[in-house]
Copies of this chain bind each other. A is one copy, B any other.
Amino acid sequence: MSHRTNGTRRTIGQRPVASIQDVADRAEVSIATVSRALNKPHLVSPETALRISRAVTELGYRPNRLAQALMTRRSGVVGIALPDIHGEFYSDLMRGADAEAREQGCHLLVGSSHLAPLDGTDPATGGMGRALGLIDGLAVMITEPRPTLDAELEALGAPIVVVDAEVADHDAVVVNHAGGAREATRHLLDGTPPSKCFFVGGPESNLDSRARARAFGATLCEAGHSPTPDQIRFDSYSIGWGQRWTRDAARIQDLRGIAVFAANDEIGYGVVTQAQDLGFGVPDDVRVVGFDGTRLTEIARPSLSTVLVPREELGRQAIRVLLQRLESPDAPRRRVMLSTSLIVRGSSGQ
């Protein structure tokens, strides 16, 4: 009945792998019926269905996803491209993405753009360009502005959702950085005059860092004080920078009575520890608020006030929006904004 042209059975390792034809032969039906029994059971008589399901288990048959995907134009795999697979932020993001993908019956293909792409193309998408056909869509996280980004995404030839940024025409899932930064700044302003508030930023090129700085500045203005340049600094997302900023600041002025809004928790942690090492009290002399809500905030003593970013949720929503887009390709562009929440802890007293 079966007539496998090359006469050989496909094997992996030493084990033969059953194909739909094998199942059909064993159940004495056509492959079409097997396919139906598996995908649209209601179209198959109970008896044949039983014979088939028996054959399936006996042979340990499992449909080849590749062949399936080629026909249905759906591989059930979505890509996620991150700047770097590293640290708590991305780790949590991926966790959420993975959970959502799984719940929807999909797999997650990862790629990080910090690794040079093999062929010099699509750096922002972490080499996903080579996955054409393999992935149904892609979630890309963007943290730095790139002039060529649009072209890169376009060339990908797959539905895209942008994470934590906005790119024309694409769905986006973003975090309300401005809102969070505003809230944190207002909290500091409640007890500290605007002229004694400082923003210690991450890389100046980093979009999030910029957004937070902008909101900080705007909030100070609203409070009737236009921030001086030295009230807003940028460098890097690291403990070391937080410490360095603190040392430098102490050299110029008295730290007593100041409040620091750090662009992320690491910076904030650095500020807290360095201030303490210099003999200042936190929060009595120096008040500090971080950003992200990472574990570090709970390790700090006093524990660090922070703006919680829903990291897992960000990953989840990215995948969710992507899959919805796949369902309805012609739906209007979507934009989901996730809100942060201020967590006041010991480091910012009040």
Contact = CB atoms under 8 A, between A and B. Distances in A.
Interface of A: 10, 12-13, 15, 17, 60, 62-70, 73, 75-77, 84-88, 90-92, 94-95, 98-99, 102-103, 105, 107-112, 115, 117-118, 127, 129-134, 154-155, 157-159, 239, 269, 296, 299, 329
Contact of A111 (B12, B73, B107, B159): B107
A169 to B, nearest CB: 9
Given A66-B66, A95-B85, A132-B62, A108 B110 contact: yes
A85 B94 contact: yes
B62 A159 contact: no
Chain copies in complex: 2
Given A66-B66, A159-B13, A98 B111 contact: yes
Contact of A64 (B84, B91, B92, B133): B133
Contacts of A131: 65, 107
Which 4 residue pairs of A and B lie closest in terms of their CB atoms, listed nearest first?
A64-B133, A66-B133, A91-B91, A65-B133
A162 to B, nearest CB: 14
B98 A110 contact: yes
Contacts of A65: 130-134
29 contacts: A10-B73, A12-B157, A12-B158, A12-B159, A17-B132, A63-B133, A65-B132, A65-B133, A66-B134, A67-B70, A68-B133, A69-B134, A85-B91, A85-B94, A86-B92, A87-B91, A88-B91, A91-B91, A94-B94, A95-B112, A98-B115, A99-B115, A102-B127, A105-B130, A107-B111, A107-B131, A108-B111, A109-B109, A296-B299
A122 B105 CA distance: 14
A117 B103 CA distance: 9
A329 B115 contact: no
Contacts of A108: 109-111
